[in-house]
Chains A and B, each alone.
Chain A
């Protein structure tokens, strides 16, 4: 089986300052791959490069299509949903409008209505707040909304940028349980960026360790978790 996402020699940076120095990694259809690393390792940059938000060089193939050089809007249409750092909430719009926006590239109105209900089934808290202005939601609710918005695309691949950021431990646990359920039930592949390594490794099947824009270690998540040296140097526990 060939990989759903295949990245080879990915370079990217900000204003001439390189942040990624040739990443190679891949992601199987239906799998969860996590990129781990400290602040500034290049995790967020990788996600941004993959969906055309910043200029990048190298090769990134998604289901046979070259992503590098494509517009963000077109990459979305391939079925890649990015849950960005900071959640990207449309704060002045209603919760339901946020969800509708997630399905903006789709045409069938009836299906979209059904999918909104499905998102509410995953996140009942959002149903209670469907008419509320999205900016008034709590951090956890906004993260749920961001994931729900991404689901509205019916994505093949979700790029998740620190879904645990700024949330209470209990909420984080709940969030990751839901992500796991989504991965199993909806067969959504996920590329997960996290600072909370133990959490990410509990969800992922494959892990890559980034350090200043390079991959230093990779392997099955279970193996990375058990690796004493990796754990001490990079994961901090």
Chain B
């Protein structure tokens, strides 16, 4: 029983990584209705920017904030330059561009910072939390930041006019335009926010998995799994899904002998498939109720 509790705790710790990523995935999905395959590489690139800023001698939090600003601007720029022109293109064109973006960011990062694995500092320190070896101060910090981010997003979308405009632009662009919402800029804002959230995710993940251009590839898959499990339309669902994926992954790795460490990734994929088959809207995704 104690082992179970410990494994759940450890699952929450890794789940925080996925939850962060899932949150960024959902942000873009809300804004443009597509899953952004380059999300992980965008986060990785942001993390390298933070790394570079600190290398130049900037203190951690200044580098952190500056990275968020640069990432936000970068997200807006990607939308304006790359995605706005192909706005009406079929979904396959989007997928191709996502993959191109992924490859470009990945190799550019490799070109600038090379592929050697680098360590990345944690603002919370890496000491074990309360003397427990299962969850470190950094992982607890991640859980905290993720939840804080979620509260911020909830308040932003629920109670601010710009949040309402963004939701309107995503739900019904034609009607949104007719009430004067600048839909194009709302989408760009969504990209910016997703890029900034991705940057936070990357910066928090890097101390755990170490910094290198390929650090996000499997994590993005877990992030997708979390987002799909929780419901692609719900930020809260995405976070819950991320934590659940972490927990399931840990429990399966511990209690089902054949799975062990090697088969953990397929569990994320199986989760995606299972959710899509049995409950496509996810745990907290909205099923649209509509009278006709």
Contact = CB atoms under 8 A, between A and B. Distances in A.
A60 to B, nearest CB: 17
A177 to B, nearest CB: 24
B170 to A, nearest CB: 10
B172 A84 contact: no
Contact of A135 (B165, B167, B174, B288): B288
Contacts of A97: 164
Interface string A87-109: 01111110001001110110000
Contacts of B179: 76, 101-102, 104-105, 149, 153
Nearest to A105: B180
Interface residues of B, number: 22
B177 interface: yes
Contacts of A153: 179-180
Interface string B158-175: 000100110110011011
B172 A104 contact: no
A72 B290 contact: no
A93 B175 CA distance: 13
Query: Which of B168, B171, B175, B180 has its CB near the most chain A CB atoms (within 10 A)?
Result: B180
Interface string A106-144: 000000000000000000000000000101111100000
Interface in A46-93: 51, 53, 72-73, 76-77, 81-82, 84, 88-93
B180 A88 contact: no
A210 B179 CA distance: 27
A61 B177 CA distance: 20
Contact of B181 (A88, A104, A149): A104
Interface in B139-168: 161, 164-165, 167-168
Query: Which of B171, B172, B178 has its CB near the most chain A CB atoms (within 10 A)?
Result: B178
Contacts of B174: 53, 84, 88
A77 B180 contact: yes
A92 B182 contact: no
A118 B165 CA distance: 22
